[in-house]
């Protein structure tokens, strides 16, 4: 089996089966194994339980971190879970995928003093996993209000909004364009960050409160219009994320082998057999964010021999955190900076390489230098940002005020159209983070509840 795997690795072009089943299982194991009870107690004992803790300020959902860690330390993981979920109902997923190294853990006093923060993310996972394992529900629906709210998108923003509205006694109908719920959590995160179908389990946990109905195959712009949503419901929340992908902007038709990174990640997340997912021998990823890193690392884990991330600016300007960059390099990914694509090379209708131009800053403006480099590549992934997409964009254009191709909102999520709120990546305040989307969905729900209560 190993011999076959090694021979398959040498196949030129895009091919499946580059690694054995055992290798793939090892490669895509949980990147951060959970703490056991003893480890959680030791980790919680490092917390100073600061007054006005900076970690709380750094958390977009403002979880009372010292409190939940103290609850773990005193043997009450269920109390800790309630503290977490009261602010962030998707706390289990956020414990797995949040860039804690740039949020709560970076602000930790232990990090500042010793360079080793309290393991806040793993402690949060310890508590929320304990609650979900027992299906412990902490929140109940208030008496029915008779009010109806339409929520577009069953991703982090939509689910957080739906849960808080249901808790207030409103009836919520979620319109989801895909055949499965979860949004970014289900389709857009590296497989090694959330294993064992956790995203779907969390959706079931969130919707167990009742009063939430999810309709699938109901995307905004095709079967669902903003006008009809406003007619059918007392309020509307838009949390559909971003479905459009920015193009490379090169002349001519893109050849076979040039793909969207988000589509690749989604296919991998939904694949029952990862070995059947074709991957190139030499892969180039264009971009510098989390999506680029997730794509590049997983290409390497599938058996690609050479994977390169090409980014048009420097390392400090990459949206991916330094931890994510180090993770990529640790898996053998090459990160090349100050490069932008200018031309694709082809062979027999498929991509065979990419020519990149070196860039520089001229009075703070990014310019090409004229110097180029050509990399061999049988697969090129685009990870250079997303947009609302044609359907979603046309569905809201003319009705809602947009900024930079995204929906403009007030701090509470209110849009320029009465009775319509929005949150998550589809808004001008979105930043491609689950935790930010959850915070915006939750806060919009509170604003909607206030409005519905008169």
250 and 381 housed in the same domain: yes
For residue range 71-92, what is the model confidence (pLDDT) as tens digits?
A: 999 999 999 999 999 999 999 9
For residue range 137-148, what is the model confidence (pLDDT) as tens digits?
A: 999 999 999 999
Q: What is the CATH number of the domain that holds 81?
A: 1.10.1060.10
Q: What angle do CA 202, 59, 402 make, to 5 degrees?
A: 85
d(CA 203, CA 217): 17
d(CA 127, CA 376): 47
Place 365 in a pLDDT band, splitting at 50, 70 and 90: very high
Percent of the chain with pLDDT over 70: 97
Q: What DSSP line would sit under 400-450, residue for residue?
A: B-EETTEE---TT-B-SSTTEEE-STTBTT--S-HHHHHHHHHHHHHHHHH
- 15 occurs within a structural domain: no
Residue 232 C-beta-side C-alpha neighbours within 13 Å: 16
- 50 occurs within a structural domain: yes
299 and 379 housed in the same domain: yes
- 129 occurs within a structural domain: yes
Give the residue from 328, 354, 385 where a domain finishes. Answer: 385
> What domain range is 53 assigned to?
37-133
- 4 occurs within a structural domain: no
59 and 117 housed in the same domain: yes
- 52 occurs within a structural domain: yes
371 and 428 housed in the same domain: no
308 and 433 housed in the same domain: no
Place 388 in a pLDDT band, splitting at 50, 70 and 90: confident
pTM, full prediction? 0.93
207 and 320 housed in the same domain: no
392 and 380 housed in the same domain: no
268 and 344 housed in the same domain: yes
Give the residue from 385, 402, 422 where a domain finishes. Answer: 385
296 and 373 housed in the same domain: yes
- 342 occurs within a structural domain: yes
Query: Based on the structure, what is the number of domains in the chain?
Result: 3
373 and 404 housed in the same domain: no
Q: Which residues pair with 343 in a beta bridge?
A: 355
d(CA 108, CA 145): 42
For residue range 195-254, what is the model confidence (pLDDT) as tens digits?
A: 999 999 999 999 999 999 999 999 998 779 999 999 999 999 999 988 888 888 888 888
111 and 225 housed in the same domain: no
Three-state DSSP at 246 gives coil
Q: What is the CATH number of the domain that holds 372?
A: 3.50.50.60
Give the residue from 102, 133, 164 where a domain finishes. Answer: 133
Indicate if the pLDDT at residue 2 is higher than 50: no
d(CA 59, CA 100): 9
Place 288 in a pLDDT band, splitting at 50, 70 and 90: very high
């Amino acid at each position: 089996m190993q011999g076959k795997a090694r021979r398959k690795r040498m196949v030129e072009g895009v091919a499946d089966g580059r690694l054995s089943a055992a290798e793939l299982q090892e490669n895509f194991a949980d990147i951060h194994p959970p703490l056991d009870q003893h480890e959680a107690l030791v980790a919680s004992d490092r917390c100073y339980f600061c007054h006005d803790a900076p970690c709380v300020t750094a958390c977009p959902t403002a979880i009372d971190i010292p409190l939940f860690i103290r609850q773990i330390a005193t043997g009450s993981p269920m109390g800790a879970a309630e503290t977490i979920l009261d602010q962030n109902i998707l706390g289990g997923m956020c414990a797995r995928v949040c860039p804690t190294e740039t949020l709560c853990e970076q602000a930790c006093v232990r990090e500042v003093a010793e360079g080793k923060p309290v393991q806040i993310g793993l402690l949060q996972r310890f508590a929320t996993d304990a609650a979900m394992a027992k299906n412990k529900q902490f929140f109940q629906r208030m008496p029915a209000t008779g009010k109806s709210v339409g929520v577009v998108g069953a991703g982090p923003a939509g689910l957080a909004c739906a849960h808080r509205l249901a808790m207030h006694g409103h009836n919520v109908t979620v319109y989801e364009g895909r055949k499965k719920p979860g949004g970014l959590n289900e389709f857009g995160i590296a497989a090694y960050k959330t294993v064992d179908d956790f995203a779907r389990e969390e959706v079931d946990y969130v919707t167990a409160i009742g009063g939430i109905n999810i309709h699938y195959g109901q995307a905004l712009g095709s079967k669902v219009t903003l006008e009809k949503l406003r007619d059918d419901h007392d309020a509307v929340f838009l949390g559909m994320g971003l479905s459009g992908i920015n193009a490379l902007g090169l002349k001519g038709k893109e050849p076979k082998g040039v793909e969207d990174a988000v589509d690749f990640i989604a296919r991998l997340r939904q694949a029952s057999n990862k070995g059947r997912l074709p991957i190139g021998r030499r892969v180039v990823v264009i971009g510098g964010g989390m999506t680029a890193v997730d794509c590049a690392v997983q290409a390497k884990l599938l058996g690609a021999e050479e994977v390169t991330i090409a980014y048009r600016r420097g390392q400090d300007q990459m949206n991916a955190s330094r931890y994510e960059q180090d993770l990529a390099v640790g898996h053998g990914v090459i990160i090349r900076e100050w490069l932008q694509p200018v031309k694709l090379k082809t062979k027999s209708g498929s991509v065979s390489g990419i020519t990149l131009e070196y860039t520089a800053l001229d009075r703070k403006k990014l310019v090409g230098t004229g110097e180029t480099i050509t990399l061999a590549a049988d697969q090129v992934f685009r990870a250079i940002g997303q947009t609302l997409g044609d359907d979603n964009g046309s569905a809201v254009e003319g009705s809602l005020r947009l900024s930079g191709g995204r929906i403009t909102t007030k701090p509470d999520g209110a849009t320029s159209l009465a009775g319509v709120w929005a949150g998550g990546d589809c808004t001008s305040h979105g930043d491609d983070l689950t935790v930010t989307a959850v915070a915006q969905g939750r806060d919009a729900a509170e604003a909607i509840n206030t409005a519905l209560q008169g």
